[in-house]
Amino acid sequence: MPRILSIGTAVPEYTLEQEEAKDFAGRLFRDSFQNIDRYLPIFEHARIRSRRLSRPREWFDKKRGLAERNQVYMETACQLGDEAVRRCLAQVGLSPKQVDHLFFVSTSGLATPSIDARMVHRLGLDFHVKRTPIWGLGCAGGASGLARAYEYTRAFPDSLVVMLAVELCSLTFRPNDRSKSNFVATSLFADGAAAVLLAGDEVALPKDMESQPQVVDTMTTTWPDSLDVMGWDVTDDGLKVIFSRDIPGIVRKEVRPVFREFLERTGVSQEQISRYITHPGGVKVLNAYQEALGLPQEALVHSRGVLRDYGNMSSATVLFVLERELKDPHDPGEYGVITALGPGFSSELMLIRW
């Protein structure tokens, strides 16, 4: 079975403390919401300490057109993607030219040629490297992209594959959007990048890499009649966030049956799962996961820690959680589940084993 060998992450240089984000939102939305002070506690309830932005907080005081914001997206995505991939490969002593396939996941900006094409010469990848850009998976993209990379290594077991997720959610911010969805997004979303290296079965690995987790199986679910739960509306000046307040309720209702079906298919019981690598969409979503699956508080410690330190970086976030998980000690044969939710409304599940 293919293995996850290493993860590299990168974030922009500009830090936004949550208290500053609260003050910014209070000024911006005060004329749009009656009794704005009733809504501002959402920033404390988010349990986020700080986030990273592609530009200083003051940059967002001025209206920015889609073209300007997207230009910043392309520049910053290349910069952070470069850092994340190099850190990922450096951990195992590989050069970019040894990568056979680059998967690129993003939902927060547009580029043609795509960002992965721009990375070929910037990183020094082989100019015959295969590329697969994936757009539109939102918060599920990190887990979904990892699943697609796993499937490639199953088909081509002698391959080394990098999956890179870059999300610059702050650059989608539209100050003229005074909706509650945008208010909630202002309290949650941030920027970051993560790269994961996978190796097929026929790749010769050093002995110390043989303890890295294997991917056992994956499952994708897209629920019917759920297109309005999460996503973007494309407007004249950019991407307008869609963010249903019913997401925690959907998690409580829908996640457990899908989780049970997945484990029955793999022949692994929930009692055998000791590690949960869950995308931290927000505190309420994590609480709903915990309730739906009957998990103890400590099961989601890394998810809560990444949310606290970085906020919700859409597709990249679950890979930050996985990075922390891989630094922990594990027993041989121990099982973990990677899971994320995204537009569709959809779920991605991945079973891994050390």
What one-letter code names the amino acid at 10? Answer: A
Q: Do β-strands 273-278 and 335-342 pair in parallel, antiparallel, or remain unpaired? A: parallel
Kindly state whether residues 295 and 348 are assigned to the same domain. yes
- Note the pLDDT of residue 204: 85
| Catalytic (active-site) positions | 139
Alpha-carbon distance 4 to 143, whole Å? 13
Kindly state whether residues 272 and 146 are assigned to the same domain. no
Kindly state whether residues 42 and 190 are assigned to the same domain. yes
- CA-nearest of 104, 88, 186 to 137 is 104
- Note the pLDDT of residue 304: 96
- Among 176, 207, 238, where does a domain finish? 207
Kindly state whether residues 72 and 127 are assigned to the same domain. yes
Which domain CATH number covers 199? 3.40.47.10
- Note the pLDDT of residue 312: 96
Kindly state whether residues 266 and 328 are assigned to the same domain. yes
Kindly state whether residues 178 and 195 are assigned to the same domain. yes
- CA-nearest of 108, 105, 109 to 196 is 105
Q: Which domain holds residue 160?
A: 3-207
Kindly state whether residues 169 and 301 are assigned to the same domain. no
Domains: count for the chain? 2
Kindly state whether residues 7 and 153 are assigned to the same domain. yes
- Note the pLDDT of residue 162: 98
From first to last of its 354 residues, the chain has per-residue pLDDT tens of 899 999 999 999 999 999 999 998 888 888 887 788 888 888 899 999 999 999 999 999 888 899 999 999 999 999 999 999 999 999 999 999 999 999 999 999 999 999 999 999 999 999 999 999 999 999 999 999 999 999 999 999 999 999 999 999 999 988 888 888 788 888 989 999 999 999 999 998 887 777 899 999 999 999 888 887 887 888 878 777 777 777 888 888 888 999 999 999 999 999 999 999 999 989 999 999 999 999 998 999 999 999 999 999 999 999 999 999 999 999 999 999 999 998 888 999 999 999
Kindly state whether residues 182 and 244 are assigned to the same domain. no
Instruction: Reduce the secondary structure of 225-283 to three states and give it as a string.
Output: CCCCCEEEEEECCEEEEEECCCHHHHHHHHHHHHHHHHHHHHCCCHHHEEEEEECCCCH
Kindly state whether residues 120 and 223 are assigned to the same domain. no
Alpha-carbon distance 115 to 104, whole Å? 7
- Among 146, 172, 207, where does a domain finish? 207
Kindly state whether residues 92 and 234 are assigned to the same domain. no
- Among 207, 237, 264, where does a domain finish? 207
Dig out the tokens for 334 from the structure: 């121990």
Kindly state whether residues 91 and 12 are assigned to the same domain. yes
Q: How many CB atoms lie within 10 A of CB 292?
A: 19
Dig out the tokens for 42 from the structure: 């959402």
